[in-house]
């Protein structure tokens, strides 16, 4: 029986003659970014072959053959319409002949089989099938024991992927080694080869999981555009060292760029990626990544280094480190570090508006411990300003160190009263500012009660905050100021349900009133410094919190009652079709605590009205919105509206409007519009109504065929607070089943267009 044609396994042919940027190309898994560290195999990249036709070879596919079992221990079965036997060992069969052993099935017009030597010789209309593939050939001969076979003029089709092609000859050397001559590979339709890869010869070593090809050429529409004298490639989804696919494009502040990553599979739990990049206007840069995974630690180190920036005239770099380590006694050590050599790094090398406008890099390192009812930690936080023109004095205070302890536990049986503690001690350091030490301690008692349609949670606690300062906040003030504030709140709500019939459909409607009362007496805090405190952005969830400030340097006073109402419509499958909420805080006392001493107290009877709305009008329409109306000034403070429309299968259009009084007013549109079966138009536009200018715009086109996809994008976006703009061009060509070349335009579109497919 002919053994399974090892070189024609799905992964073997997918990479046997895969396009490579240089000899030693690694698997098209994008290396360290996709292949999980510590895993011996990488996830297989999925491709969309919906536009492909059925392959001709599938016409002789026989369903129902075994997919598991020991092939070597299975007997061979020989069949035919007629046969003759010149002796007791040799059989000649003709007319619908077959030779089967477990999952292997060989069919031919004529077959000779020697029982004694297990040699076979098949001629005419060869059709071969096994677990992962089909192939046809003019002739095939070999032995079943030992497994050995030679097939001539082979045409194959993989069953686990779209891979197909031809081979002048396939030779099975032994169980783990095979050799091909004159091999081709593509995922395109057999009668329409947009691209094809050819190799003069190829050797497979399945024990090592490697293949080796010589004289490799890739053709596009029959025209050769890449030749390699030799290449090594993976024949399965094991992690392998080698070059990854190159990227190229253009950035306004760096010029044309091209990069070729190299992935180094050091060990199953260690790997590295080195990406030499050349920027036409600035010079060469080396991006490197090292990852590790041990029984006690895992982490990633990234270092981007440019030894000489031609424009800046200096060395430049950017480093990030992330590490999680398990220590004795169930302790954990988590570290996250980010540092740039200069403030212009993100403006020069950021790829979009988000990264190019980074203003602050935060770093931290903590040792923590957690149980089912408490958690604690000790560590440090520090920051770096990375905005040109912004003084280092604007950086937040460093917390060197910070200790915290949080606990919450029932008193007696679960479901009854519970006690809790939130505590932290911090030493604040800023080279150009006066620092100090702060201790914040909040013990509390609570009683969470609930039923099927109601909940009630009263809580009472005392917040103490004390300081040790090298000098007072104001002349003559204390160097050890403190604040002790009792806090009492009650959170309660009801849930009503009813069945309704609207627009021909049945729904369950809920009505959920919620009441939240908060009482915090006023404390004068003018002698307390500001280390890490800012006013919180007001939104719907601020209706149910005990403080309107972040950090511990300010505790608001309150005699407030929050009233809120939510309604939802759920279909018969429990899917939420509509959710609408509205609420307001009613103030019974003036809001006297302000961020800075001498600030004006807020003497309003109520806060902004806050409303949120989400409607799934159908499977194709979705509307979201939020609104904040200030009854004290009769003005809208915040307004957001989002409308999404799906069209023509995988097309989508998004419209968004964002407004915050005295801060921003923006409108944006993004779309993915199919034009026929293979073409798509993509684009996005964000316009600042306050500045009367576009701040981000991109447009592009996609062509998606059976086996090839091409994306071309052009972008212009604002990259700094002064309004300076940058241009970028991105190009990507994807050979499905092999990989993609160029910048990852598809990844950018997934972030830029909500719902992009």
pLDDT tens for 586-608 read 999 999 999 998 888 888 899 99
User: Higher model confidence: residue 165 or residue 444?
Assistant: 444
Phi then psi dihedrals of residue 6, to 5 deg? -50, -45
Q: Which range scores top for mean pLDDT: 223-227, 281-285, 461-465?
A: 461-465
Residue 10 to residue 157: CA distance in whole angstroms? 9
Q: Does the residue 682 lie in any domain?
A: no
Question: Which range is least confidently modeled, 36-45, 326-335, 508-517, 581-590?
Answer: 36-45
What is the CATH number for 93? 2.60.450.10
Domains in the chain, number: 2
Q: Which two tokens stand for residue 336?
A: 């996250």
Q: Is the N-terminal amide bond of 146 cis, ω within 30° of 0?
A: yes
The residue range of the domain holding 540 is 439-597
From 178, 211, 238, the end of a domain falls on 238
pLDDT digits (tens, 9 = 90+) for 634-652: 999 999 999 999 887 778 9
The owner of tokens 């403190």 is: 482
Q: Is 440 helix (H, G, I), strand (E, B) or coil?
A: strand
- Taking the CB of residue 723, how many other CB atoms lie within 10 A of it? 11
- Taking the CB of residue 405, how many other CB atoms lie within 10 A of it? 16
pLDDT surpassing 50 at residue 3: no
Q: Is 12 helix (H, G, I), strand (E, B) or coil?
A: helix
The whole-number pLDDT of residue 148 equals 82
Q: Does the residue 176 lie in any domain?
A: yes
Residue 222 to residue 239: CA distance in whole angstroms? 32
pLDDT surpassing 70 at residue 24: no
Nearest-10 Cα torsion for 126, 131, 132, 138: -10
From 187, 215, 238, the end of a domain falls on 238
The angle at the Cα of 750, spanning 748 to 753, to the nearest 5 degrees, equals 100
Q: Does the residue 112 lie in any domain?
A: yes
**233 and 18 Cβ atoms separated by less than 8 Å:** yes
pTM: 0.75
C-alpha distances in angstroms, 403 versus 95, 369, 425, 481, 687? 84, 12, 5, 20, 44
**613 and 593 Cβ atoms separated by less than 8 Å:** no
Mean pLDDT of the chain: 84
Instruction: Determine which helix (DSSP H) or strand (DSSP E) holds 121, and give its type and residue range.
Output: strand 119-130
pLDDT tier for residue 18 given thresholds of 50, 70 and 90? very low
Mean pLDDT, residues 140-162: 83
Mean pLDDT, residues 46-57: 75
Q: Does the residue 120 lie in any domain?
A: yes
Q: Does the residue 618 lie in any domain?
A: no
The owner of tokens 């602050």 is: 360
Look at residues 438, 441, 16 and name the one whose alpha carbon lies nearest to residue 214. Answer: 16
Q: Does the residue 613 lie in any domain?
A: no
Q: Does the residue 643 lie in any domain?
A: no
Q: Does the residue 178 lie in any domain?
A: yes
Neighbour-count burial for 501-535, b at 16+ CB within 10 Å, e otherwise: eeeeeebeebebebebbbbbebbebebbbbbbbee
- Taking the CB of residue 691, how many other CB atoms lie within 10 A of it? 13
Burial class for 455, CB neighbours closer than 10 Å (0-12, 13-18, 19+): middle
From 238, 262, 285, the end of a domain falls on 238
Residue 642 to residue 727: CA distance in whole angstroms? 27
């Amino acid at each position: 029986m002919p053994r399974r044609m090892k070189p024609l396994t799905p992964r073997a042919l997918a990479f046997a003659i895969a396009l490579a940027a240089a000899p030693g190309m690694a698997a098209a898994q994008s290396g360290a970014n996709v292949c999980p560290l510590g895993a011996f195999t990488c996830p297989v990249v999925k491709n969309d072959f919906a536009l492909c036709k059925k392959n001709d070879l599938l016409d002789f596919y026989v369903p129902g053959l075994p997919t598991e079992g020991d092939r070597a221990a299975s007997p061979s079965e020989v069949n035919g319409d007629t046969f003759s036997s010149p002796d007791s060992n040799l059989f000649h069969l003709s007319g619908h002949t077959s030779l089967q052993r477990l999952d292997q099935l060989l069919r031919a017009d004529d077959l000779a089989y020697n029982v004694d030597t297990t040699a076979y010789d098949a001629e005419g209309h060869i059709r071969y099938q096994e677990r992962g593939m089909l192939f046809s050939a003019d002739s095939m001969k070999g032995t079943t024991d030992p497994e050995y076979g030679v097939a001539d003029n082979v045409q194959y089709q993989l069953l686990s992927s779209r891979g197909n092609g031809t081979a002048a000859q396939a030779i099975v050397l032994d169980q783990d080694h095979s050799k091909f001559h004159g091999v081709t590979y593509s995922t395109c339709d057999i009668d329409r080869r947009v691209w094809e890869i050819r190799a003069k010869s190829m050797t497979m070593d399945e024990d090592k999981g490697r293949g080796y090809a010589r004289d490799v050429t890739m053709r596009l529409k029959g025209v050769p555009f890449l030749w390699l004298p030799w290449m090594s490639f993976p024949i399965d989804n094991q992690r392998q060292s080698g070059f990854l696919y190159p990227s190229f494009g253009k950035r306004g502040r760096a010029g044309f760029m091209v990069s070729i990553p190299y992935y180094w599979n050091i060990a199953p739990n260690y790997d590295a990626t080195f990406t030499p990049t050349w920027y036409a206007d600035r010079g060469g840069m080396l991006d490197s990544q090292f990852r590790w995974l041990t029984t006690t630690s895992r982490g990633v180190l990234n270092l981007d280094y440019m030894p000489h920036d031609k424009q800046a005239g200096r060395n430049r770099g950017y480093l990030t480190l992330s590490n999680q380590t398990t220590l004795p006694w169930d302790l954990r050590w988590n570290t996250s570090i980010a540092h740039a050599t200069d403030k212009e790094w993100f403006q020069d090398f950021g790829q979009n508006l988000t990264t190019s406008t980074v203003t602050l890099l935060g770093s931290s390192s903590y040792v923590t411990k957690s149980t089912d009812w408490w958690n604690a930690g000790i560590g440090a936080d520090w920051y770096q300003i990375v905005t040109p023109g912004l003084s280092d004095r604007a950086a937040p205070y460093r917390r060197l160190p910070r200790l915290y302890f949080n606990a919450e536990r029932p008193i007696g049986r679960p479901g009854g009263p519970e006690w809790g503690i939130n505590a932290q001690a911090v030493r604040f350091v800023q080279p150009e500012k006066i620092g100090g030490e702060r201790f914040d301690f909040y013990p509390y008692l609570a009683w969470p009660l609930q039923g099927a349609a109601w909940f009630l949670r009263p809580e009472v606690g005392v917040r103490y905050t004390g300081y040790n300062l090298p000098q007072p906040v104001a002349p003559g003030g204390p160097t050890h100021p403190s604040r002790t504030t009792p806090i009492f709140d009650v959170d309660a709500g009801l849930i009503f349900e009813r069945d309704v019939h609207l627009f021909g459909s049945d729904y369950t409607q809920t009505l959920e009133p919620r009441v939240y009362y908060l009482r915090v007496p006023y404390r004068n805090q003018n002698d307390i410094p500001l280390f890490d405190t800012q006013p919180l952005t007001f939104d719907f969830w601020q209706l149910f919190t005990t403080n309107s400030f972040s950090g511990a340097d300010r505790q608001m006073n309150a005699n407030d009652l929050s009233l809120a109402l939510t309604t939802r419509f759920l279909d018969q499958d429990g899917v939420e079709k509509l959710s609408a909420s509205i609420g307001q805080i009613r103030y019974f006392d003036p809001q006297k605590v302000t961020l800075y001493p001498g600030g004006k107290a807020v003497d309003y009877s109520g806060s902004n009205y806050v409303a949120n709305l989400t409607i799934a009008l159908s499977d194709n329409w979705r509307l979201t919105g939020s609104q904040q109306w200030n009854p004290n000034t009769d003005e809208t403070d915040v307004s957001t509206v989002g409308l999404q429309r799906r069209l023509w299968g995988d097309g989508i259009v998004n419209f968004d409007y964002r407004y915050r009084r005295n801060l921003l007013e923006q409108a944006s549109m993004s779309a993915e519009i199919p034009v026929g079966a293979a073409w798509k138009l993509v684009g996005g536009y964000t316009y600042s109504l306050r500045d009367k200018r576009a701040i981000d715009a991109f447009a592009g086109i996609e062509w998606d065929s059976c086996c090839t996809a091409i994306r071309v994008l052009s972008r212009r976006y604002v990259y700094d607070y002064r309004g300076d703009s940058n241009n970028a061009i991105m190009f990507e060509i994807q050979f499905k089943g092999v990989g993609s070349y160029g910048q990852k335009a598809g990844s950018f579109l997934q972030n830029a267009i909500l719902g992009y497919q």
